[in-house]
Amino acid sequence: MKQSTETSSSDETNLTLDESRFDVSSKVIHTDRFMTWFIKLGGVLVVAAVVAIFVFITSQVLPLFKGASVDLPGATTTENALPPGDYLGIAADEWMEKPFAVRDDGKIIFADLVNGELTESELDYLEGGNLSTVSIESGEGLIVAGTAAGKVHLVEYSYAPTFKDGVRTVNENLEVVFTGEFEGSIRKVSCGQSGNSRLIAVLTETESGPKLFLDLVQRKKSLISAGDWKEVGKLDLSESLRKGIGVQDIMVTNRADSVLVVFDNGEIDYYFRSGSGLDTELRQTFRPFQDQDIQKIARADFLLGDVSLVLSSDAGVNRIFSLYRSESDPIRKFHQTKEFPPLYDSPAYYSPSFRNKSFLTGTSNTATLRYATTQAIRWESELPWEVSHALISKKSDALLFLTKDLRFVRIPVDDPHPEAGMKAFFGKILYEGSPESKYEWQSTGGSDDFESKLSLIPLIFGTLKGTLYAMLFAVPVALFGAIYTAEFLDPKNKAFIKPAMEIMASLPSVVLGFLAALWLAPVIENRVPSVLCAIILVPLGALLFGTIWSRQPKSIKRHIKEGYEFLYFAPVMLLLLFIGWHLGPLVESILFTVKDSETGTRTGDFSRWWPAITGTAYEQRNSLVVGFMMGFAVIPIVFTIAEDSLSNVPDSLRTGSLALGASRWQCAWTIVLPTASAGILSAIMIGLGRAVGETMIVVMATGNTPIMEWNLFSGMRTLSANIAVELPEAPHHSTLYRTLFLGAVVLFLMTFLVNTVAEVLRQHLREKYKTV
Q: What is the mean pLDDT of residues 405-428?
A: 94
Distance CA 669, CA 650 (A): 15
If pLDDT is split at 50, 70 and 90, which confidence band does 12 have? low
**Does 497 fall in a domain?**
yes
Contacts of 567 (CB under 8 A, 6+ apart): 560
Give the pLDDT score at 3: 52
**Does 468 fall in a domain?**
yes
Residue 765 has pLDDT above 90, yes or no: no
What would the pLDDT profile of 317-349 be if each residue is shown by its tens digit? 999 999 999 888 889 999 999 999 999 999 999
Out of 295-304, 315-324, 358-367, 443-452, least confident range: 443-452
**Does 663 fall in a domain?**
yes
End-to-end Cα, the chain, rounded Å = 56
Out of 294-308, 503-517, 551-565, 686-700, least confident range: 551-565
Average pLDDT value for the chain: 89
**Does 716 fall in a domain?**
yes
Up-side HSE of residue 152: CA atoms within 13 Å toward CB? 28
Q: Which residues pair with 423 in a beta bridge?
A: none
What single letter denotes the amino acid at residue 651? D
Phi, psi of 246, deg, nearest 5: -75, 160
Strand, helix or coil at 334? strand
Percent of the chain surpassing pLDDT 90: 58
What would the pLDDT profile of 565-610 be if each residue is shown by its tens digit? 777 788 888 998 999 999 999 999 899 988 887 777 888 889 999 9
Q: What is the mean pLDDT of residues 715-738?
A: 92
**Does 10 fall in a domain?**
no
- Conformational region of residue 161, where left means phi above 0, alpha means psi within -120 to 50, and beta covers everything else: beta
If pLDDT is split at 50, 70 and 90, which confidence band does 19 have? low
Give the pLDDT score at 494: 81
Q: What is the mean pLDDT of residues 280-302?
A: 94
Q: In this structure, what CATH number is given to the domain that contains residue 720? A: 1.10.3720.10
If pLDDT is split at 50, 70 and 90, which confidence band does 379 have? very high
**Does 739 fall in a domain?**
yes
What would the pLDDT profile of 630-643 be if each residue is shown by its tens digit? 999 999 999 999 99
Q: What is the mean pLDDT of residues 493-519?
A: 87
Neighbours of 90 (CB within 10 A): 24
Q: By the 8 A CB rule, do 326 and 335 touch?
A: yes
Contacts of 348 (CB under 8 A, 6+ apart): 362, 363, 364, 387, 388
Residue 653 has pLDDT above 60, yes or no: yes
Residue 772 has pLDDT above 60, yes or no: no
Neighbours of 16 (CB within 10 A): 9
User: For the chain, how many structural domains are there in total?
Assistant: 1
Stated pTM of the model: 0.88
Residue 283 has pLDDT above 70, yes or no: yes
If pLDDT is split at 50, 70 and 90, which confidence band does 436 have? very high
**Does 486 fall in a domain?**
yes
Q: What is the mean pLDDT of residues 551-576?
A: 80
Q: Domain residues for 644?
A: 458-524+620-771
Q: What is the mean pLDDT of residues 299-310?
A: 94
Rounded to whole angstroms, the maximal C-alpha distance in the chain is 152
Nearest residue to 410 (alpha-carbon basis) of 78, 40, 143, 49 = 78
Contacts of 620 (CB under 8 A, 6+ apart): 521, 522, 525
**Does 730 fall in a domain?**
yes
Q: What's the distance, CA 356 to chain centroid?
A: 16
